[in-house]
Structure 1
């Protein structure tokens, strides 16, 4: 059976990860030591299902020494692996193209990259009608960090924090992105204004009361209901059809565009400092059963970010099998923020 000790070899065969952690100098006396890991999910009824998560790391983006790009793309639907792979493979090229168009306006170029890839996906030889991908990207220009998010993957920073001057320093997890799901009131209202309907599966089937009092905890607590609110299209006869997605933005999923499921990202700008200890990007396979703080605490038990990635993914996998009969695909990029060990010359 898949859950026995004998299945460890099979589990390890599903893992793709860094050979070793890497160093990247940001300038300003800081750098990142980073690693990635992705693990294909376990689906009892589809043991050979492809890993629909993908990732991208681009060092010295556009030939600039202190520019670094991270991306995590979480595909879904029948061709989700193809959509996420397409976005992964085309993101660098498209961002460079948009930068040439936008005349140095980085944030506009960044946002337009997602929208352009969404348009291009609809012309490819795979299903982007009922398949798509979420995307969380981190662009470092020196210590200046810009996060772009579409969907329910997430970016988090762990920073030293002291609640009171007499208290010891603690590392506190803070959001660098906001999940775009129907848990968010603003996203629910946007979807409803576009003609969509928000209901959970239990509400549709009559097992749960009709309400909109969902708790938007954004990773501070784990949602244990297992029945999230979803986006639906309602026909004139009152029947509900797809997409039935638990996110409100994605690349692809053109069926959902008529009810507001689109590819426009939300951007967050953040300036890294010596008080920051780690930056984490991960697909929702990590965040389903682990809080932001739990992930940061786990990572910082290790000296090497690759060891931290292994621990977080292993715990995510264990919790999936504890609460479900399957596991999601799980992907994480972890960067430890550290002082640059390079010698400094001059006055």
Structure 2
């Protein structure tokens, strides 16, 4: 799948094969970035300036992830400042599930932002070529406005980002279906992604990862504002769609609070979300990858945004998350403070369950970050590991050697010695599926007559 993207700040190109998407930029007199004639392969994305994807911090944000007790960390995260211009920031959290969920999450983390850039460039090119006539011709269909009236810049921006999110998510799922190195039949990932462009916030999301905002009320007190909806199967709209497609939605007796999606002919795989990338065994039965999209104008009262995987939300409320972030010793330690608090709550609330992976991205809206390069968990070596690719933080403040699987970093720790059939964990995204397989194992989801199941080969 090929594309070539150029904006006022960057150019993004991808060749015809997976893993060969390219991005680059060129510095010229009078402007910080422009159309690229120097191309960086996708595997070198970690070296792109102002893009962080491992434990650390940037000018306006901090990110942190900690592996749970289920096996390899299947969460992925990213903050990309100066995404397409200096006032645009991209943030995302991706929570994988299934045997290859960690690979899916990392693939989406790397490829989805490039697809957003491509979609935005395509839209802007059409708009420029038609000198605005294209947008006016479609305005009545998109928002009900009279095409004879002027279209405000805010409306144009909202329309273009909505189109970009819809097309990018669709293209991402299509690419996963035909990916030569990923089996996404019973593996997938959530996605909660935001674009901050000046005072505007654009959000696209699937699955049950969540975004909230910390804002001050009229009394100066911090309040939590939920920005996204956890797209779970028990939501009436989601359940109706799944049932119309012959999928089944119900909760198991030992976890009545967790509704799951099941095949019509077998009690498998038990997906705990209604929308996801991948999971192609359920795509014919109501699970979709179309994102919910929303737009919000930021105000001076809005202080920060938090994106996190469900490992955080399973044990902490929105209000607790806002309090933890606002009371963190320094802003650059806020993400780690949040993840540490979630890990502590897992031990208190579910002492007999395996803790889920916990990942958080904190974006501060006023651009004022204070930090010490030697503060706990954020040493200069940790920061360097975002770009060097030879060491990563293992989630406990320790730098360890890493193995590379294409674009994916697999951290090897003692806690990762986990068997596929070991125990039953409380909030699993999938049931009857192991998280991590030994190298000599492969998986096949087979159907015979009206019987379907997962086969270990």
Q: 2:94 matched to which residue of 1?
A: 73
Q: 2:278 matched to which residue of 1?
A: 252
Determine if contact 1:136/1:153 at 8 Å carries over to the other structure. Answer: yes
CA offsets 1:134-187 (integer angstroms, 9 cap, x no match): 00001011121101111000000111124xxxxx33211111111100231221
Q: Secondary structure at the match of 1:338?
A: coil
Q: 1:119 matched to which residue of 2?
A: 174
Determine if contact 2:96/2:187 at 8 Å carries over to the other structure. Answer: yes
Partners of 1:39 and 1:340 lie apart in 2 by: 26
Determine if contact 2:262/2:269 at 8 Å carries over to the other structure. Answer: yes
Q: 1:8 matched to which residue of 2?
A: none
Out of 159, 165, 171, the position equivalent to 1:110 is 165
Instruction: Show the 5 A alignment for 1:1-347.
Output: 16-18=54-56, 21-23=57-59, 33-43=60-70, 49-62=71-84, 64-102=85-123, 103=126, 105-124=160-179, 125-162=181-218, 168-202=219-253, 227-235=257-265, 240-302=266-328, 304-322=330-348, 323=350, 324-338=352-366
Determine if contact 2:95/2:105 at 8 Å carries over to the other structure. Answer: yes
Q: Report runs of 4+ in structure 1 exceeding 6 Å deviation.
A: none
Following TM superposition, by how much is the alpha carbon of 1:191 offset from its aligned partner in structure 2, in angstroms? 1.3
Partners of 1:40 and 1:34 lie apart in 2 by: 21
Q: Secondary structure at the match of 1:254?
A: coil
Following TM superposition, by how much is the alpha carbon of 1:321 offset from its aligned partner in structure 2, in angstroms? 2.6
Determine if contact 1:242/1:256 at 8 Å carries over to the other structure. Answer: no
Following TM superposition, by how much is the alpha carbon of 1:241 offset from its aligned partner in structure 2, in angstroms? 3.3
Q: Secondary structure at the match of 2:282?
A: helix
Partners of 2:256 and 2:239 lie apart in 1 by: 19
Determine if contact 2:173/2:278 at 8 Å carries over to the other structure. Answer: yes
Determine if contact 2:258/2:272 at 8 Å carries over to the other structure. Answer: yes
Following TM superposition, by how much is the alpha carbon of 1:303 offset from its aligned partner in structure 2, in angstroms? 5.1
CA offsets 1:98-132 (integer angstroms, 9 cap, x no match): 22333462211122111111010111212101000
Q: Secondary structure at the match of 2:267?
A: strand
Determine if contact 1:73/1:136 at 8 Å carries over to the other structure. Answer: yes
5+ residue gaps, structure 1, are: 1-14, 24-32, 44-48, 163-167, 208-224, 342-347
TM-score (normalised: structure 2): 0.59
Following TM superposition, by how much is the alpha carbon of 1:307 offset from its aligned partner in structure 2, in angstroms? 2.0
Following TM superposition, by how much is the alpha carbon of 1:69 offset from its aligned partner in structure 2, in angstroms? 0.3
Following TM superposition, by how much is the alpha carbon of 1:279 offset from its aligned partner in structure 2, in angstroms? 0.5
Following TM superposition, by how much is the alpha carbon of 1:305 offset from its aligned partner in structure 2, in angstroms? 2.6
Q: 1:5 matched to which residue of 2?
A: none
Q: Secondary structure at the match of 1:231?
A: strand
Determine if contact 2:74/2:97 at 8 Å carries over to the other structure. Answer: yes
Number of residues of Structure 1 aligned to a counterpart in Structure 2: 280
Q: Secondary structure at the match of 2:174?
A: helix
Partners of 1:171 and 1:160 lie apart in 2 by: 5
Following TM superposition, by how much is the alpha carbon of 1:302 offset from its aligned partner in structure 2, in angstroms? 2.2
Following TM superposition, by how much is the alpha carbon of 1:289 offset from its aligned partner in structure 2, in angstroms? 0.9
CA offsets 1:206-242 (integer angstroms, 9 cap, x no match): x7xxxxxxxxxxxxxxxxx67401111222xxxx332
Determine if contact 2:63/2:336 at 8 Å carries over to the other structure. Answer: no
Q: Could you say which structure has the larger radius of gyration?
A: 2
Determine if contact 1:191/1:197 at 8 Å carries over to the other structure. Answer: yes
Following TM superposition, by how much is the alpha carbon of 1:318 offset from its aligned partner in structure 2, in angstroms? 1.8
5+ residue gaps, structure 2, are: 1-52, 128-159, 370-457
TM-score (normalised: structure 1): 0.76
Following TM superposition, by how much is the alpha carbon of 1:306 offset from its aligned partner in structure 2, in angstroms? 2.9
Task: Report the aligned-residue RMSD.
Answer: 2.0
Following TM superposition, by how much is the alpha carbon of 1:339 offset from its aligned partner in structure 2, in angstroms? 6.5
Partners of 1:93 and 1:339 lie apart in 2 by: 25
